[in-house]
Structure 1
Amino acid sequence: MSEQTTKDDAANQPGAELVVGSSKLFQENQLQCIPMPTPDPKDPFNLPSWRKWMAIISMCFFGSLGLGIENIIGHLLPLFYFEYNGVSWSVLLEIGSLLAIAGSSSMNVLEALATWESVTPLWRVALLATLPIIVNGISSFVLVPLSSAIGRRPVLLLAGIMAWVGGIWASQSQSLDAHIAARCFQAFGAGAVEAIIPLIIQDMTFIHQRNRAFATLNASQGVLIIGLGMMSPLIAFYLDWRRLYLIFSGLTACAWIAVFLCVPETRRERSNDELAGKQVYLLEPGETRPRPDVESYGPRTWKSNFGIFNIPIRWSLCFQTFLESFKCLTFPAVIWATLLSAALQGAGNAVTQTSSSVLLTVGWRIEKLGMSGLALLIATPFTYFISGWLADIVSNWIARRHDGRREPEVHLLSIILPVILAVLGLVMYGYVCSNILTILRADYALLVNIFFHTVGSTCINTTLQVFILESYPNFAGPILIVYSSFRLICGFGMTVKATEWAKTMGFLNMFGTYGGLIGALALGGLPVFFLGKSFRTRTAGVVEDEEGHTKMARQPGRPSGSNGSPENHPAPLNSNPVPGHPRMEPRDEPAGCVIKRRTPLE
């Protein structure tokens, strides 16, 4: 028996429970691959780093367009309000003309418009921005279970088609009802951004990479949204808002092509031991992952790279994933993360719906409203640094300090500063809106507070996604259904009449309430931080008990206690080289585990 085998045995000695979500990230000061890849070259974990990042970048492009239209429509609500009341948009050029038509002396545009005897009330026009949110949330109940049955790739491609077809429909709509229906159809396709894309990223990245991967997704979406958002008011005002939808549909179609070319199928059933990063396959001394076995599994082909239906269809997994999403509603960490994210979503929606009207109040011209996106653009590098690069460093450093053991709850340390920024940004935003005429350069003050809230909310959402997926790796799909759906549905309930509440409650009271709610929910994370491991033990069980027996809760789509089919474990676990495989030279792969071998994939 080799020296390396002895070390591995010592590292896996029984005597301490390994709870679901906990992992041994470092052994002998060497970074481990968690989950453990298989020897199959078609395993998404065995993709070269450049291919993984191409897939992530293409999904960022698609995701930014799906979320961008949501953000932009919110800023254009004043325009649509006049459009569906038969009034020329030119009144939006001067705040005095706007207030004269509204028949009010108030400098609060929302209050002024509320006094106007219009055919279509303000809250109904606001459904263009709010109703798609709840549709987006509901879509996760369909898209995620469907992806468990037929694969991630076909569902993502179908959702992409719905997104750009919905934009064309909206551009041709002739009534508010048709416009809202088209927006909802478009939002159903954009639902892939909330659930399928995070699921794909989770399928192809190791746990020590996920903060950066999710931060890249969220931060890059911000850059593209701002670029498009700054041009959108100009296009809508000087050309036509219908032309804006056509441009977005064309760009979404281009993003769909990029997704088709770059994103492979990533759904793969993994054993309990693989999810925990345990040594399941043959490893050479110094290796942390098995070598790709082309002889046993075959190489990646055009079909595995570009085919649409690359896995066996199993409809039983569709129903099982759907049912298990309700079980996830009993997980304390998931409940808390969903509620906190919902509060952030609702507050963000309220800011989007009200900021354009407030900026018009201080004299901004409608065609320049897109410049408000500069606050989001400046926030982008901060969100990546805090929730990506810094969060990975902190969590990995803590794992090293605790004998290599990684607990998901350490991620929650990374949301302390973002929570402070999010709450501060909301309260100060409400204060500035309430004193818009007495604050010097109130528009700059608004943008600064939007910046604070954006940095805080984006960092929190990124960290929460990583936290819940790492806490319950065997329930990734069901958890994303709960998290993505209920945060959007609750967020819709919190903002369905945000414009009306701003008029009746006042900006400071409304946004102070949002800030207080977020602060209170964040404090609710203290029990999750200190008792999270106990919660995971009770709700999902342990990977390995004190005697070394595997006892992990059932992975969705796999019978209880199964470690995979025999073909997934072609080689016995020992220290001898794989017959017929030459010893391979070390390589450097910065974005992956320490892999001391060269694979046929490069």
Structure 2
Amino acid sequence: MEEYKEEVTKVETVAAPVQQQVNGDIDLFDETGHIRLVPVPSASPRDPLNWSKSRKLLVVIACCWYSIMSLSLVGATGPMLPIFIGMYVPEGVEVATVARFATWPSLFVGLGNFVFLPLALACGRRFAFLIAAAMCLIATIVCATSNNFTTNFTGTLFQALGAGITESLLPLIITDVTFVHERGKYFGIYWTTQSMLSSVLNIASTFEAERLSWRWYYGIYAIAVGIGLILAFFCCPETRFARPPASFNGQVHVTDEYGEQRVVSGEEAAAYSSYAATDVDMTPLTYGETLKVWNGVPKGGWKLAGKSYISMARCLTSPGLLWAVIYTGMVLAVSIALALTYGTVLTTKLGWPDANTGLITVGAVPGGLAANFYAGYLMDKLALRSARKNGGKHKPEARLPIIIVPTLVGITAATVYAFAIQYPERFGWPTIVVMWGCYFFCFVSSLIVSTTFAVEVCPQAPGPALVVAVAFKNVVAFGMAYGISDMINDYPAKSYLSSYGVLIGCLGAAMLLAIPVYFFNGKWRKSGAGHIQN
């Protein structure tokens, strides 16, 4: 608490004109060069922004653990695909149908965002987190005890639905406990550990299924997800906080239901009276209070949850957000397409045992670490440098040049990968493994940049914008990967080169779309920022 009081004294109380701040530009520096704390924390010790570093760290650990384990469980369907094919094809299930294990979960991860974020707005972040984790745990137990393809596949879809919170609700919880100038770092840690460690755990998945049994593969993940549920219960208090409006020189600063600070008029501030308490509770938060599962529905909570869908639809009018959806969707689509093929090529063409196919994900370690440094640490540094050059004002579009290097690396890696699986005897397995790791750098970098960009490019509705960015990318990826899977399954009638060539061309086009967004999206924000609101 004391450390934040020290920093708050440095916060400049002379605000910029309202129009400059509602369009997405944020004054991160005051006239003396000190970083402002945005959102402005209240004086209450119950305010998540005022929590101790240890309590915040426990929240981040709980979020990271569940995201790693749930997404590892969902993502392991790629390495596990040869095993599932061997199980269910003899029972009369077509190969293309079994391949749905590698494509359909992505769609349901996206749909989970549309279920649990509105639930979190009405009933609280903690309640929605616990419900999703419990669903994922029960679905995993169902998969472990299944006796046919339909039951196993259905359980997998519910696993993916419960894992959907990793892409919107859990980042929202992290947003609740962090300031704007810290979020690149925290999102970098979150997305990197999630993507890197979940992929590394997939190395063990095929060994577990081969050496123990596929049922124990699910059983071990059930234990891991169960631990995540326990961590969520004991380490993640409710982070929704009704922070009262603060008045600076005639301007009213409010923190909305998505944890984002906005500058509003006095009339707009009155609308927050039903959400934010006028009297701040100054009593310390006890540990017993943090364990409450149900914290009640605030006045207008269900109405707010319903209107969040309208806000999501409005966010789709943002050119910048539409680009983020298309770009990250294409990055994910290529990643899914890679997962559809490496298991088959390594086992049938290069003689790998089924148990060894998970080893391809070893490349995720260097790829993820490089992405965390590049798109996490360096992106924040470049954004602060750009803000200093722009009179202390941060523009969301300043983050876009960061995608150039990862996208070029991803395009190169996917191209070489396509040649490697077309001519595996010529290129060998090391090329496949290395190119997977290189592409992983592109994948993680795109997640870090897109989520940070999304919450800034629609400043009036950052929560809906985040859901649109992460959820619709899964829908785009599912559509592309599902369509391209028919071409892949037609091999050798259709070449791997032609299949991946389509996806790689679309990814390159998506990168080029960032150019008009970089130059013109700022003008759109200034003209239309007031039309996209919570």
Same fold per TM (> 0.5)? yes
Residues 1:269 and 1:424: Cα distance change in structure 2 (over 3 Å): farther
Choose from 373, 384, 405 the match for 2:372.
384
How much does 1:232 deviate?
1.4
Residue of structure 1 in register with 2:295 after alignment:
310
Residues 1:158 and 2:143 aligned together: no
How far apart are the structure 1 equivalents of 2:66 and 2:10? Answer: 48
Corresponding residue for 2:405?
A: 417
Work out the CA distance in 1 between the residues paired with 2:328 and 2:128.
25
The equivalent of 2:268 in structure 1 is none
What is the count of residue pairs matched by the alignment? Answer: 496
String of CA shifts for 1:536-557, please: whole Å, max 9, x gaps.
Answer: 123323xxxxxxxxxxx6752x
The separation in 2 between residues aligned to 1:160 and 1:180, in whole angstroms, is: 19
Structure 1 residues 446 and 7: alpha-carbon distance in aligned structure 2, compared to 1, 3 A threshold: closer
Alignment correspondent of 1:30:
34
Going from structure 1 to structure 2, the CA distance change for 1:8 and 1:172 (only over 3 Å counts) comes to: closer
> In structure 2, what is the Cα distance between the partners aligned to 1:430 and 1:332?
32
DSSP 3-state at the match of 1:273 = strand
Cα-to-partner distance string for 1:540-594 (whole Å, 9 max, x where unaligned): 23xxxxxxxxxxx6752xxxxxxxxxxxxxxxxxxxxxxxxxxxxxxxxxxxxxx
CA distance in 2, matches of 1:294, 1:269: 10
CA distance in 2, matches of 1:533, 1:167: 45
Partner of 2:415: 427
Whose RCO is larger (CA < 8 A, sep 6+)? 1
Structure 1 letter corresponding to 2:389: R
8 Å contact kept, 1:61–1:224: no
Q: Quick one: which of 177, 192, 196 aligns to 1:219?
A: 192
| Contact 1:41–1:294 (8 Å) recurs in 2 | no
Counterpart CA distance in 1 for 2:334 and 2:228 is 29
Matched, 1:534 2:529: no
- Give the counterpart of 1:54 among 46, 58, 62: 58
Aligned to 1:584: none
Alpha-carbon separation, structure 2, partners of 1:365 and 1:226: 19
Q: Report what 1:508 is aligned to.
A: 497
Distance 1:30 1:145 in 2: 36
Q: Indicate conservation of the 8 Å contact 2:44/2:280, yes or no.
A: no
Once the two structures are TM-superposed, the CA of residue 320 in structure 1 deviates from its matched residue by: 1.0
Q: Which moved more, 1:45-54 or 1:407-416?
A: 45-54
CA shift, 1:294, in A, is 11
Q: What are the within-5 Å matches in structure 2 for residues 194-233 of structure 1? A: 194-233=167-206
1:23 touches 1:277 (CA, 8 Å); kept in 2? Answer: no
Shift of 1:310: 2.9
Deviation at 1:185, TM superposition (A): 1.3
CA distance in structure 2 between the aligned counterparts of 1:15 and 1:210, rounded to whole angstroms: 23
Measured against aligned partners, the alpha-carbon deviations of 1:71-129 in whole angstroms (never above 9, x if no partner) come to 2111111111121133xxxxxxxxxxxxxxxxxxxxxxxxxxxxxxx822111001222
8 Å contact 1:40–1:294 — kept in the other structure?
A: no
> Which of 342, 357, 360 pairs up with 1:372?
360
Is the alpha carbon distance of 1:278 and 1:429 closer, same or farther for their aligned partners in structure 2, counting shifts above 3 Å?
same
Separation in 2 of the partners of 1:400 and 1:193? 33
Q: Which residue number in structure 2 is paired with residue 72 of structure 1? A: 76
CA-to-aligned-CA distance 1:121-173 (integer Å, 9 cap, x gap): 11100122222221221221111111111111100110000111111000111
TM-score by length of 2: 0.88
Please list the CA deviations of residues 224-254 of structure 1 after superposition, one character each: whole Å capped at 9, or x if unmatched: 3244212211110122101100110111000
Superposed counterparts of 1:150-189, under 5 Å? 150-189=123-162
SS at match of 1:18: helix
CA distance in 2, matches of 1:30, 1:347: 42
| SS of residue paired to 2:46 | coil
Map 1:305-454 → 2, pairs under 5 A: 305-310=290-295, 312-313=297-298, 314-360=301-347, 361-439=349-427, 442-454=428-440
Distance 2:517 2:182 in 1: 23
How far the C-alpha of 1:501 sits from its partner, in A, is 1.4
Instruction: Give the conservation status (yes or no) of the 8 Å contact 1:41–1:300.
Output: yes
- 1:337 Cα deviation (Å)? 0.3
Residue 471 of structure 2 corresponds to residue 491 of structure 1: no
Query: CA 1:303–1:530 in structure 2 vs 1: closer, same or farther (change >3 Å)?
Result: farther
Identity of matched residues, %: 27
**Shift >4 Å, 4+ stretches:** 4-9, 13-16, 269-272, 275-280, 293-296
Whichever structure has more helix as a proportion of its residues is 2
Over the aligned positions, Cα root-mean-square deviation in angstroms equals 2.5
Instruction: Provide Cα deviations, 1:364-385, integer angstroms capped at 9, x if missing partner.
Output: 2211122112111221210110
Distance 1:481 1:295, change over 3 A: closer
CA contact under 8 A between 2:458 and 2:532: conserved in structure 1? no
CA contact (8 A) 2:311 2:464 kept: yes
The residue that corresponds to 2:456 in the other structure is 470
Contact 2:173 2:239 in 1 (8 A): yes
- Is 2:260 aligned against 1:273? no
Pick closer, same or farther for the CA change 1:403–1:37 going to 2, 3 Å: same
SS at match of 1:522: helix
CA distance in 2, matches of 1:269, 1:418: 39
Instruction: Report the Cα distance in structure 1 between the residues aligned to 2:280 and 2:126, rounded to whole angstroms.
Output: 26
Superposed displacement of residue 497, structure 1: 5.2
Q: 2: distance between equivalents of 1:6 and 1:247?
A: 49
Bigger radius of gyration, 1 or 2? 1
Q: 1:487-532: CA deviations, max 9, x gaps?
A: 1112111122544312243211222221111111111111211122
